[in-house]
Structure formats: structure tokens, C-alpha cells
Amino acid sequence: MTSDPTPTPATTSAAPADPLLAELLGLAREAGRRAGVLLRDGRPDDLAVAHTKTSAIDVVTEMDIAAEKLITGFLAEHRPDDGFLGEEGASSTGTSGVRWVVDPLDGTVNYLYGLPTWSVSIAAERDGETLVGVVEVPLRGETFHAVRGGGAWLDGGAGGGAGAVATDGAGRRLAVRPSPELGQALVGTGFGYLTDRRAHQAEVAHRLLPRVRDIRRGGSAAIDLCDVAAGRLDAYYERGLNPWDLAAGVLIAREAGALTGGRAGEPASGELTLAASPGLFGTLQGFLEESGAWHD
């Protein structure tokens, strides 16, 4: 059903045995922690829009820029030969084969308005394959993380949702909820900032809403994907995501047992991103295809 197979996760430890993966995970977690502290504690009372991107409501604040500089600076100090792809402009090829994909503030509008649903998303990839993903959610006190083949884990917070399993010394290992029927599914989604795209996304949501338990729109794709991993959502879909929006979260969801992808047989992408418990994935993917959720 998807070109992103679900690996068999580790059962006893969140620490990867591969020294490279252990290094990448440790650096991503520390960079995410530092950026989270900066964003949480350094937010000015008079925070304003620094500039806009795709439209007048697609905003960037000075804190987005500062957080990306902190993250890329920290990672470059420890791994100077790696490449970068960042939402706020960081772009370099590198020579090591490893590239960091960084969203320094996923949920900028929430952050601008003082809402708590925002995150820092950091992924490390090699040869186009995401190896490590970290999503820091400072106002929840949570850090989600995964290494390819090593399971998905949650540190901090009040609990990991219905699918969390407590493990001593390794945080809480995450697992998706048992698959419901579509009519009992709680589904997350998001909307883009281009007028025509938003109008069509509203039409798709209008068609989906009577068919599911309910729809949630949180405002941070990275958190929504992690909430699928934690059993807080049964599924999440969205059109228009960028690599930095989805790289870490898709890995975390998949390592928790979700199926992930886009249109049938294709990986998650800007065209369409979908993560769902295995028994729900195909049904929801079929509905989204029929509804044209993959185009504007």
C-alpha cells in the first residue's frame, strides 16, 4: 500500500548500536533542545512578522531565523562536512553524504499568536533515506525521536497516548492505536496558505468530516505526525508539505507502526502526505485519491 515499508523496531533500547546513528541522534536531540529553549524562553512580547513567504499569511518571525541559525551552527560545529536543507534558507550540499533537514519552528502562526502547538523538527538523511528524526515540543515538555529500524520513542510529557509502552531508561516506546473503522477514526489535517489550495482542501475536509469520528487541525505537521505515532490520532494527511515539515515526523510515525505514503505506491511528499494505522491506511488513501486531495 505504500513505498515506505514499516521496519521492525527495537524492543529493549532507544540507543542505536551504529556509532554514526548514535552520533546523529545525540546531536539532533541536543540541537532541538537548545532551539526549543531559545524559542520558549526568548520569545519577545512584541514578536512581529519578519517577512512572508508564499502569501501574506505565510509568515516568518525573527525567532524562526534565530532558531535555524542556532541549529545549523551547532550541527556544523560538530559535523562540518554535512549538508543542510532548512526552511529559512540554510542550503548546502556537504561532502559527508549526510544532510540535515531542519524546520526550526513548525507552527509559526501558532507561535506568533501565543498558542502552544509548535515544534522544532530535525532529521538526518543519507542517500535520500531518513536515518534519524527528532521533534521537540517545548510547551508539552516532550521530545519525540526515532532511528530507522530502532522504533519510535517519547521522552517527557504526561504520557505517550494509547500506544505508549513504558521502558526503563529509554523513554516510552510508541505504537500506533489499533486500527478503527473509518467512521471511528480521529483524523488530523492541515491547510496551506495559497487561496486556491485552501479552498480545495476545505472541500476535501467537508467530504471527509461526515465519514469519520472527527477532524483535528493542530497547525504543526511535525506534531500531528508524532501524535499518530503516540496514538493520539488515528491518521493524518496534508497536501503541500515541504521536506522539512515531514522528514522527522514521517520517520517517527513509521517507526511506531504507521503506514506512510502519498498517492498509491508513492512516498510521502509535497503532493500528499498520509500517515495512518495499518488497517486504516488503505481506506483513507482511497478516499483521498477519489477526492483529489493530491491536487489543488
CATH number of the domain residue 269 falls in? 3.40.190.80
Q: What is the DSSP letter of 162?
A: T
CA distance 143 to 157: 8
Same domain membership, residue 281 and residue 186: yes
CA dist 72 and 171 (Å) reads 26
Residue 156 and residue 30 share a domain:
yes
Share above pLDDT 70 across residues of the chain, in percent, rounded to a whole number: 90
How confident is the model over 147-189, as pLDDT tens digits?
999 999 999 975 444 454 443 345 899 999 999 999 999 999 9
Domain hosting 125: range is: 19-173
Q: Show which of 144, 173, 202 is a domain's final residue.
A: 173
Whether residue 8 is contained in a domain is answered as: no
Q: Into how many domains does the chain fold?
A: 2
Per-residue pLDDT averaged across 8-12, rounded?
37
In a domain, 13, yes or no: no
Regarding whether 263 and 220 lie in a shared domain, the answer is: yes
Same domain, 58 and 115: yes
- Judging by beta carbons within 10 Å of its beta carbon (0-12, 13-18, 19+), is residue 105 exposed, middle or buried? buried
**Is residue 85 domain-shared with residue 163, that is, in the same domain?**
yes
Q: What is the pTM assigned to this prediction?
A: 0.91
What does the pLDDT average to over 72-79? 98
Region 112-139 average pLDDT = 97
Look up residue 162 and give its three cell numbers: 494509547
Show the cell assigned to 296.
489543488
What pLDDT, on the 0 to 100 scale, is given for residue 58? 58
For residue 83, the model assigns a pLDDT of 97
Half-sphere exposure of 55 (CA within 13 A, CB side): 10
Mark whether 84 and 102 lie in a shared domain.
yes
Assess whether 46 and 150 both reside in one domain.
yes
User: Percentages helix, strand, coil for the chain, rounded to the nearest 5?
Assistant: 35, 25, 40
pLDDT-based confidence at residue 88 (cuts at 50, 70, 90):
confident
**Residue 205 near residue 237, CB atoms below 8 Å:** no
Task: Tell me if 142 sits within 8 A of 119, measured CB to CB.
Answer: no
